[in-house]
Structure 1
Amino acid sequence: MRGIGAVFPPSVSIDIVRFKKRAIRILIIFNAAVIGSAARHNRRVNFSCLKMLFRPTSILICAISASAFAQENKPAAPPAPSPSEQQPVAKVEIRGSAEDYDPRRDDTASKTVIGNAEIMKYGDTNIFDILKRAPGVTVIGNSIRMRGLGGNYTQILVNGERPPPGFSLDNLPPEQIERIEVIRAGTAEHSMQAIAGTINIVLKKVVAKAQRDVRINTSYSDQQRNLFVAGTLADRAGNLSWFANPVMGRFLMDSAGEGLDRFIDPAGQVTKLRDYTRASTGDNTFVGFSPRLNWKLPDDGQLNASAFISGNRNEFNNASAYVYRTGSFNRIDYADVTTQNAGRSRNAQGELNWVTKLAGGKLDAKLSASSRSSTQTMRSRSVTADRAIRYRNDSDTEEDSTTWSTTGKYTRTLFEGHALATGWEYNRQRNDDDVLRIQGRLGSEPAPVRERFEPVVARYAAYAQDEWNVTKDWSMYFGARWEAIRTDSVGTGLPSTRSKSHVLSPVAQTLFKFPDKSGRQLRAALTRTYKAPNLQQLTGRRFYAEENSLFTPDGGGNPDLQPELANGIDLTYEHFWAPGAVFSVGTSQRRIRDYIRTLLRQEADGRWIWRPVNSGNATVRTLDVELKFPLKAVMKEAPGIDLRAGLNRNWSKVDGVPGPDNRLDEQIPLTATLGIDYKGGAHSGGASLAYRGGGPLRVSAEQYRRQFLRRDLEAYWLWKFTPQYQLRVTASNILGEDSHEYQRYVTAAGAEENVGRRPESARISANLELKF
């Protein structure tokens, strides 16, 4: 809704009641669209499911009505003076500025944009800390989720593309980020593999001023110790600007865990019982270098070149000790299992980006390539309690991966009020894995087994979209994207497989702003998104567990998997009631077809295996509430304090799994956050409390799990000694909450249960930034 003149003059006055009725009518129309979509795709309308969507919609209608009522009850304006009393009015021309533009408020597509100024405001040291303040986003460790969904339902992009193999968000300094886009509903411009939503991280290209700084970060807890050093060199000369970002770090890990496995027969008697303790240590060291160049060409053109080079070395050791109390769990009950892993990897990536005017429009084209090579060795030993039997499981793996891709976008305004865009995307990734395995009892001479796997994945897409400013207060967005994925897999001892799938994804979004300048607005979106199986799920390669059991099974893929398809609707009411203040309430639904879940089965030879399968339909519903505002919005003389609160309630139901608790695997049913931030002169600080709900979860007719509630309290303090030097100290997991797990598998013979706990402690980190 920016950059295009209004169709109606500002002198046109429209009664607020008519707009309130029109807003409610829009909600009713979009709810009716859900019924039509369900009838077309499912042939039968599940009115009990639709009732869950109408219920949050009624909340939106009430919020709109209440807000409109408040507007209608403002004091009446004084009567207008007579023509003779009117004074000549000077003609004033007002032009909008870039500072007036807010992507969240003004863009038709529903998204939240976190700009560089806000990123640097709080002194965050990594992207995960930044996203903890983003509305509708849940961060669990290094996992980013929207709508409470894990398992790759949330799409992560860098500069609009999937990161290459080996790319780590941990190593991305916030100073390199231009903005972060949190996109709630799908858009044709980006891949529609975003059932939950998309996080797009856009890196800087143009240098505004010279920059030379060094950042040193260290953290400590009972389980880990980290050291991270990064620097930035940036400058410009005429039309040329450049970045250079070296980075290095070392992460040490030392954690422990404990638990038990037991088998309960139908009579309720424990016939098998064993306790276990586990200890893990790790050492990961990495270095990286990321240069970028930008040339400004005539006629607003640009030529950008960037690269990323990194190296990594790691060692991880695991030890498990079992004490058998009752019965026997396997053909051989091992008492001690130790595993040593060591690996090295090298990554290189390059990208060229050309921006130019073409045929009255603008072309933005990219060409990129990346290469990754790694070696991994594993040495595992399993020993019985009497040391009579020793089993070895050794492997040496060499992996090589090459990827190249091209993307492009052409934009042009053809008609008044229309911004048209079309584009393409092609990506090809090839992996070559060579594995040498030696398995057998010590003392024997087992023959080495050589294996080779060569999967190739090709993705290609084309799209078109149009953003139409119907009036100055109402805009529409229409788009369609066609995507296809082809996976070819060849492996030693495996049949050659080919998997092909394609999806046509239409999308429509609308934004309606109430014309009373109150900052109130409505959003709605109809989308079709999907989630494609990953490479490991599609290949027929099998991963063997040395101690195969119900809770340590083998893993395998399924070349016949089809992508999950989701038809969705989003409705949102937003009120920007003061500068920097917003209240929003939104609801959404996703109806998923060909839902992929990983099932545990026992094969004819007695071995247990995890294998993904398409398993019917599933439904996801959400209700999101957000409130944030500076304290000065309600108290003019208040200090520089910002308050924020969020509530996300998520529901889901898998049709093919008996209820109750037949939710999508790993979905968080409830998250709630409270936060406060203070920004003064030399000192700033803040704290946040996040609550994550839990409860029982039924994965299949036989499999059960439990999600445990968790409370995370974090606080930070930022001290700016001078404009060049600052120190940030952060404390996370202040409450010292441990991690728990529980899973259960039930058959006619009885139930096998696993209960585990992993102690965790508070973590203290410090980040020192030096500018020169």
Structure 2
Amino acid sequence: MTAIRQFLTLALLLGPLALQAQTPPLPTTSAASAPAAAASAASAAAPAKAAVEPPAGNTLDRVQVTAAAETDDGLRRRQSVAMSIYGREELDRQGDIDVTDVLKRLPGVSMDGGAPRLRGLGGGYTQILINGEPAPPGFSLDSLAPADVERIEVVSGATAEYPGVAGTINVVLREPPRTLQREWRSNLNHRALQPGGSTAFQWGDRLGALSFVVPLSISRGAQATDYEQVRLSRTPAGEVRSQAIQGRDEGRSTTVQVAPRLQWKAGDWDTFNLSAFWQHGQSRNASERDITTLLGTPWATARDGSQSETDSDVRRAAANWVHKQQDGGKLELKGSWQDTTRDSGSHYDSYRADGRLLVTRETRTDFGEQRGALGGRWTQPVADDHTVVTGWDVETRERDELRRVWDFGVERLDSATGLPFTARIGRAAVFIQDDWTISPQWGVQPGLRLEEVRTRSDDGRNTIDNRARVTAPTLHINYRFDPKGRDQIRASLTRSFKMPDLSALVGRYVLNGSYERTETNTPIAADSAGNPQLQPELSTGLDLRFEHYPASGGVFSVGVFYRRIDDLIRRGVRLESGMAPDITQVPRWVSRPMNIGQATTRGLELEIKGRGEEWLPVLFDKDSGVNLRAAVSLYRSAVEQVDGPDNRLEAQPPWLSNLGLDWRVPRSGWTLGASLVLQPGYTTNQTDLQLARRSAVRTLDAFAAWKVDRFSQLRLGLTNLLAPDSVAANTVDDLDGFSAGSSTRRNTLRAVNASWVVRF
């Protein structure tokens, strides 16, 4: 009760922060004071050691003391900012096919188009990192198997080092072990179309001062979805037209990946780390559509289809050196190089109602990006209470892209096709933060980040140069009710930012392929173009969170957050004439990004995890073997320049919930479990004239795991058992009130998978 009274008192004192929730530092013993504490403990223990000295000639039995590995919740409790860590237990829990299946069940994480988002905010608000580095362009997390990952770190909100507006998801790949580890995993699954599977082998060992790990994985997947679409539009002449579309998409993919890491401890003070990453992917996709005219002049295309093939490679090499100092300081220097290539080709045919060929088109796209980065970190204890961290990062990216199109064998040459496109991105950042342990209960972490990004692009006819600078201060506060931190409050005030994507900045005009260049398209199938005048979105955030860690394990967390976003970027659709005369001569609807103004978002987040008897003693007996997980998040947002209702931020649901249960069946080696993800349907007013609707999400997964012995385990998993159809609708109003729109209903896929893990 004392802790609860203190919590309520602090909540009243921090009243202005009442709609905020993030992450401050945890008071821990500083590196500078650790030697003194150890010496004091040794001196205090000396008399006791003398008192138990055995008589001469006697010997004591050997006693071996082993320490259990710290749990994910224990690591979370000790962090100086709000960070959740999910290790092998969570990654292995349900024998998932890919990492996105794991992410969708994590508290506060929602999925949008295969990309994870925190607090319902995606599109760059959530920073995605692989081993602390930005994910390569076009890299999809569903190409990573859980067996390739060591842990997932989720940072709630911005820090001086990681400036994500909503937070950061850092996927850390397998690390070198301390002892011999050999592991083989095999997975067989079926989502649709045909069976898929994967196999992964990991070999890690330590040879004196040298340790290494070599993970190798191969996966094969296939899936197919059917959909129905109805669209309504109006021609420039005023004729209303409507079509019904029956379609099917099929996809097959193969991925090979190897990610070796090596660590060499050169004495007590220096450590060298080397890592490499190579991923090769092949995908083969096909789609077909039947188009029926419902209203107006019959659509020229009655049937069409396409086939595409894509080969991609991601190559990465990284090195870092860590030097420890006798005063507790630490210097880290790191560098990395990355090369991403993607070659794709497609063939498209469309036919009239009488079966005559209307269009035959070949398309080929060659994409390449090289990235080089250097960085440094210096950690220095100051007195007994401060640990100052300063750092810098310099990064350059060079991107080349060439898209070629042939209609009936004749190549098109204009500013969108047939001409090479190049871009160069330079980024430089410095930051400083201070972990200040004021007392055993209070900790403060002020920080500051300065960053500059310069983008330069050239499409052969136009050169665009854009430069942006931002200053982002942060302040995190941590109060612990007890020295062990089992009850604590985290509060933060942050300034963060989101840089515009390169695709949003460059002015290259791209036609919507659903409509030929000789005819006017519709607002729901607009062309796209960039805006070189875009400025970064700036966010001011407030966070407040209470955390309780029961002695039996688990966590109870409740928090609130608030974000004010300035220079919000939104895409607007307008009818334009003469904007790309070398591409089309007719008026076309075009979607362009623009800074439209200000938005705010706020939310409440609740998480409970632990033993069933701890949280529901009425339902579960002691040692029931049941573990519970539950999380509920409520979100509200408003864009000031868009009329309500539903003028929310892009694709942010009103609420999100995750429920899960695991049961270790006594004396059987079996563990059974299930998880449920719920998200309501909602509507978003993107602008005063644009509306988007999304259906509800209901995802039920179940698993059964059998631990055969210490070295092998079998897991059976069922994914998306409810398999509800997904419905998405978009409408665009003209100035006279006519609404053009489309509605698409697509089936979602159930999946079954079986995985076998052997350690030897």
Cα pair 2:440 2:483 within 8 Å, conserved: no
| Cα distance change on mapping 1:313 and 1:114 into 2, 3 Å | closer
Shift of 1:606: 2.0
Gap regions ≥5 residues in structure 1? 1-13, 32-52, 58-89
Report the number of matched residues.
694
TM-score by length of 2: 0.86
How far apart in 2 are the matches of 1:125 and 1:296?
35
Indicate the residue corresponding to 2:752 in structure 1.
Answer: 764
Three-state SS of the structure 2 residue aligned to 1:743 is: strand
How far apart in 1 are the matches of 2:473 and 2:594?
26
How far apart in 2 are the matches of 1:317 and 1:677?
39
Indicate the residue corresponding to 2:297 in structure 1.
Answer: 328
Three-state SS of the structure 2 residue aligned to 1:430 is: strand
Mean CA deviation greater in 579-588 or 131-140: 131-140
Indicate the residue corresponding to 1:238 in structure 2.
Answer: 208
How far apart in 1 are the matches of 2:564 and 2:334?
34
Three-state SS of the structure 2 residue aligned to 1:207 is: coil
Pairing 1:36-435 to 2, within 5 Å after superposition:
53=19, 99=70, 102-120=74-92, 123-124=95-96, 126-139=98-111, 142-165=114-137, 167-190=139-162, 192=163, 194-222=164-192, 225-263=195-233, 271-328=240-297, 333-358=300-325, 360=327, 361-387=329-355, 390-435=358-403
Shift of 1:25: 4.4
| Cα distance change on mapping 1:174 and 1:276 into 2, 3 Å | closer
Shift of 1:125: 5.1
Three-state SS of the structure 2 residue aligned to 1:135 is: coil
| Cα distance change on mapping 1:92 and 1:429 into 2, 3 Å | farther
| Cα distance change on mapping 1:142 and 1:204 into 2, 3 Å | same
Indicate the residue corresponding to 2:722 in structure 1.
Answer: 735
Three-state SS of the structure 1 residue aligned to 2:420 is: strand
Cα pair 1:171 1:247 within 8 Å, conserved: no
Indicate the residue corresponding to 2:656 in structure 1.
Answer: 671
Three-state SS of the structure 1 residue aligned to 2:14 is: helix
Indicate the residue corresponding to 1:592 in structure 2.
Answer: 565
How far apart in 2 are the matches of 1:236 and 1:306?
16
| Cα distance change on mapping 1:135 and 1:200 into 2, 3 Å | same
Indicate the residue corresponding to 1:603 in structure 2.
Answer: 576
How far apart in 1 are the matches of 2:126 and 2:437?
29
How far apart in 2 are the matches of 1:16 and 1:168?
44
Shift of 1:582: 2.3
How far apart in 2 are the matches of 1:403 and 1:701?
40
| Cα distance change on mapping 1:166 and 1:655 into 2, 3 Å | closer
How far apart in 2 are the matches of 1:392 and 1:118?
49
Indicate the residue corresponding to 1:637 in structure 2.
Answer: 622
Cα pair 1:438 1:447 within 8 Å, conserved: no
Three-state SS of the structure 2 residue aligned to 1:537 is: helix
| Cα distance change on mapping 1:29 and 1:373 into 2, 3 Å | closer
Indicate the residue corresponding to 1:3 in structure 2.
Answer: none
Indicate the residue corresponding to 2:540 in structure 1.
Answer: 567
| Cα distance change on mapping 1:771 and 1:16 into 2, 3 Å | closer
Shift of 1:207: 1.2
| Cα distance change on mapping 1:695 and 1:417 into 2, 3 Å | same
Cα pair 2:606 2:633 within 8 Å, conserved: yes
Q: Deviations over 1:636-691 (max 9, x none)?
A: 63321101211111111011111111111111211112210123452112101111
Cα pair 1:166 1:347 within 8 Å, conserved: no
Shift of 1:395: 2.1
Indicate the residue corresponding to 1:466 in structure 2.
Answer: 434
| Cα distance change on mapping 1:567 and 1:435 into 2, 3 Å | same
Indicate the residue corresponding to 2:595 in structure 1.
Answer: 614
Shift of 1:121: 5.3
| Cα distance change on mapping 1:22 and 1:467 into 2, 3 Å | farther
| Cα distance change on mapping 1:413 and 1:661 into 2, 3 Å | same
Cα pair 1:249 1:286 within 8 Å, conserved: yes
Does residue 580 in structure 1 map to residue 548 in structure 2?
no
Indicate the residue corresponding to 2:53 in structure 1.
Answer: none
Aligned partner letter, 2:302:
A
Indicate the residue corresponding to 2:580 in structure 1.
Answer: none
| Cα distance change on mapping 1:353 and 1:407 into 2, 3 Å | same
Indicate the residue corresponding to 2:672 in structure 1.
Answer: 685
Mean CA deviation greater in 477-486 or 172-181: 172-181
Shift of 1:383: 2.5
Shift of 1:513: 1.5
Mean CA deviation greater in 201-210 or 552-561: 201-210
How far apart in 2 are the matches of 1:121 and 1:300?
37
Three-state SS of the structure 1 residue aligned to 2:302 is: strand
Shift of 1:178: 3.5
Q: Deviations over 1:718-737 (max 9, x none)?
A: 11223232221111111121
| Cα distance change on mapping 1:236 and 1:434 into 2, 3 Å | same
Indicate the residue corresponding to 1:11 in structure 2.
Answer: none
Indicate the residue corresponding to 1:750 in structure 2.
Answer: 738
Indicate the residue corresponding to 1:708 in structure 2.
Answer: 695
How far apart in 1 are the matches of 2:166 and 2:494?
11
Indicate the residue corresponding to 1:725 in structure 2.
Answer: 712
Shift of 1:372: 2.3
Cα pair 1:137 1:147 within 8 Å, conserved: yes
| Cα distance change on mapping 1:188 and 1:516 into 2, 3 Å | closer
Aligned partner letter, 1:731:
L
Shift of 1:99: 4.3
| Cα distance change on mapping 1:431 and 1:686 into 2, 3 Å | same
TM-score by length of 1: 0.84
| Cα distance change on mapping 1:619 and 1:17 into 2, 3 Å | closer
Which among 15, 19, 27 is matched to residue 28 of structure 1?
A: 15
Shift of 1:15: 7.9
| Cα distance change on mapping 1:473 and 1:258 into 2, 3 Å | same
How far apart in 1 are the matches of 2:708 and 2:8?
55
Shift of 1:289: 1.8
Three-state SS of the structure 2 residue aligned to 1:450 is: coil
How far apart in 1 are the matches of 2:5 and 2:249?
65
Indicate the residue corresponding to 2:424 in structure 1.
Answer: 456
How far apart in 1 are the matches of 2:533 and 2:189?
45
Cα pair 2:106 2:658 within 8 Å, conserved: no
| Cα distance change on mapping 1:474 and 1:435 into 2, 3 Å | same
Root mean square deviation, CA, Å: 2.9
Q: Deviations over 1:597-640 (max 9, x none)?
A: 11222212321222111111111111111122202434663321
**Identity percentage over the alignment?**
32
Aligned partner letter, 1:131:
L
| Cα distance change on mapping 1:489 and 1:224 into 2, 3 Å | farther
Three-state SS of the structure 2 residue aligned to 1:615 is: strand
| Cα distance change on mapping 1:328 and 1:149 into 2, 3 Å | farther
Shift of 1:127: 2.6
| Cα distance change on mapping 1:97 and 1:482 into 2, 3 Å | farther
Query: Which structure has more RCO (C-alpha within 8 Å, separation ≥ 6)?
Result: 2
Pairing 1:441-520 to 2, within 5 Å after superposition:
442=408, 450-493=418-461, 495-515=462-482, 519-520=486-487
